Structure 1
Amino acid sequence: MGSIGEEESSLLEVEQSLLQEVKLYAEDGSVDINGNSPLKDKTGNWKACPFIFANECCERLAYYGIAKNLITYFTNELHETNVSAARHVMTWQGTCYITPLIGALIADAYWGRYWTIACFSAIYFIGMVALTLSASVPGLKPAQCIGSICPPATTVQQAVLFFGLYLIALGTGGIKPCVSSFGADQFDHTDPSERVRKSSFFNWFYFSINVGAFVSSTVLVWIQENCGWELGFLIPTVFMGLATVSFFFGTPLYRFQKPRGSPITRVCQVLVAAYRKSKESQTLLFETMDRKIEHTDGYKKIFAL
């Protein structure tokens, strides 16, 4: 009897030690940079968040530092009419809001959030460099007006400018849909204490967005109009470079969720399955081996739509 009791107590100790060991690791399916289960005290949580906040703050500062005053740049520096400038800016901003669909699809289906943010941040930075060069290099911007004569931008000058702008639009499409979700990935939703921290994360995340937008809408706009567009575009370019570097610095601390396949594929599978089931008999649809489920016509209108 004594030996049995000792075996039971040793088994309990082993179980308790195993449970404690499990609690040391995140249990939400995430992995660390090496593909292993991440240790809670070394990855994720608030340790990883400053790098994400810095990335988002600098990215928003760079974006609004361009978008807020871009019509003025087109009219004053490229000598375009207000109508033409507004058309260019609205088309560019519309593209910035469409490209996140591409970024979200790539992140969910193929690359994951981390690599999507990393790659598109590099694209964003290249676009910022091209835009800054178009405003700084004499041969890449139109000559100054002489009296009422304002030479228009050449084809090459426009090509460099729009190359930079639309690289920025593509870059923001990879960052915008992923960075907030990537920040949420740093908190284990199976841990009650980390769930509470996740809600606080979003408060600080949107605070960082507003800080970047406020600085760009005030300080950068003033610099562009009073100190020159070269400096006005160079500053957000530097900040975008800092955003990219900051994001990479946090790599050892991040938790990563693996791609789970294209959501478009899953939606299509549901629609195809629903269509096929609609052709089957009611017996197959509403009966099981041990009970009969009452038929309803409540969803006919949904499928009719």
Structure 2
Amino acid sequence: MNQLSRRYFPYSEHLKKTYGGRIQKVSIHADFTCPNRDGSLGFGGCTFCNNDSFVPNYLHDGMKSITEQIDHGMEFLPGRYHNAKAFVGYFQAYSNTYGTVEHLKRIYSEALNHEKIDGLVIGTRPDCLSDEQLDYLADLAKDNYIFIEFGIESCYNKTLDRVNRGHSFEDSVEAIQKVVDRGIPVAGHMLFGLPGESREETLAQAKIISELPLGSIKFHQLQIVKGTIMAKQFKEDPSQFPLFQPEEYVDFMVDFLERLRPDMAIQRFSSDTPINLRIAPNWGIRPNQIQLMIEKRLKERDTYQGRLYK
């Protein structure tokens, strides 16, 4: 079993072992878009996506400059986070490499020039990173903390097509390897409960993503969010969406962890869309409570991350 105090490998422990302490994110909204929104690949974006659902409230108040956003974001951090080893600007909403290298340099430089920012976490799509951009990021990584997060969402192309993702799983595999080859840490996002996937298919993805050179992973349960294509589909036919209920999700996550590579760090187990945007499911349970339920279930079942790996 994992020699850590927990029965899974938490990202906080990974940061402590690798960098010597906590690296705290400060969210930044830089007005990027995505190629499946602006017509390059399609329109409407992913059917499940409304980026307002995960942009912090303090970024909705009309501030424009990245410097202002960082200043304001630092004020919102809980006191205990101010003891972090380093702070990184978190470019989260939409595809944050979807632009020219010159544009990225302007955006990223402003963040890195902030006196309290030591690096960047950049969320993007696997089809939005050119070799030129990767070389630029590798150069930045020589003197800064640089992390890339890819939205993988599913390992099945049938699912990615159904949700209008606009790229294939093979695109994710290729992009992850290119980033790793340049020495930049990569995290992946997986979304559980997407339409058309059986629970068995969803669970089988643990083995697939374990073969990818990901250092860490974020898990999200599907939520139906206002203002999305999926919200319309859900209204027309809710039976397409067998949404997880809390206890079911906890058991599923334990099953998934058992099959997951033991050295892949877990950044989060679930997400929580603001109630004013969420249509379903209404769990009434915060992500930290889900985490505690998963830890309890791991102990009850006397199991741990990677027990069934290979």
Could you tell me the TM-score, scaled by structure 2's length?
A: 0.23
Greater fraction of residues in helix: 1
Greater fraction of residues in strand: 2
Higher relative contact order (CA 8 A, sep 6+): 1
Could you tell me the TM-score, scaled by structure 1's length?
A: 0.23
